[in-house]
Amino acid sequence: MQRIEAHASHGGVQEVWQHRSAVLDCELRFGIYLPPQAQAGPCPVLYWLSGLTCSEQNFITKAGAQRYAAEHGLIVVAPDTSPRGADVANVDSYDLGQGAGFYLNATREPWSRHYRMHDYVVDELPALVEANFPATAARAVSGHSMGGHGALVLALRNPGRYRSVSAFSPIVAPSQVPWGEKAFGNYLGEDRAAWLEWDACALVAGAAERLPLLVDQGEADEFLATQLRPELLEQACDAAGHPLLLRRRAGYDHSYYFIASFLDEHFAHHAQALRRG
């Protein structure tokens, strides 16, 4: 691994590392914030998954997360949103290809060679973090938009892997909205039954673990009615008896202004879960 950035912040350090990913078969970067408590011993880890068009930079530079990570003694890991590189499949579109990995394992060519973000975030990245940084095996996951979809799906697909999960403006039913239909059709093929393995609304029905879902959604979000549709998650959780706290925030949009406004509450939610057991 190579450290390419280091910045003092709130008594800790915000770093960016680059490494060769065996799962993705490319070079990839991730941000990691080490709080001041990490100088004394291992700390639990919150994984943050960003949305369409983002890299590891967006969250670490816009959200103000370092303050809350330092307050609660959490390491925060923010991976890139897709594999990268000249030999990685891509198209001239913001919602498919590089910058739009959708946190799934692609099964269709040409995407299947590199686009395995689920396995990267769930397995390879935590192994790397826990082997090279003062990190415990206590993990939480959160994200925004496409990354909110990723956080929900990763938690629902991997019972016992995370102590807590939350999301801002998640794509809760990708198999039913344009962003997800485009991505899933390309990455997974035309069999819509296979799509349901990566759809939070479908997964809650058979979830083996009733991990509570915390979701914040801005009511002035320009994608609310067409791409996000939180009411579908509400209906699915009601039908399955799955715990969900869905908070609709009047006046807030899809931007990092929204995330920064309520991020402290999400950090408190995760810190409480990560301190248990």
Residues with catalytic annotation? Answer: 145, 221, 254
Token pair for residue 235? 């209906």
Strands 2-9 and 12-21, bridge-based pairing: antiparallel
Residue 145: DSSP 8-state: T
Query: Count of alpha carbons within 13 Å of 225, Cβ hemisphere only?
Result: 2
Cβ distance 134 to 43 under 8 Å? yes
Cβ distance 101 to 115 under 8 Å? yes
The 8 Å CB, 24+ separation contacts for 19-25 are: 19/128, 21/83, 21/120, 21/124, 22/124, 23/116, 23/119, 23/120, 23/123, 23/124, 24/83, 24/114, 24/115, 24/116, 24/117, 24/120, 25/83, 25/113, 25/114
Cβ distance 161 to 175 under 8 Å? no
**Residue pointed to by tokens 């390879």:** 124
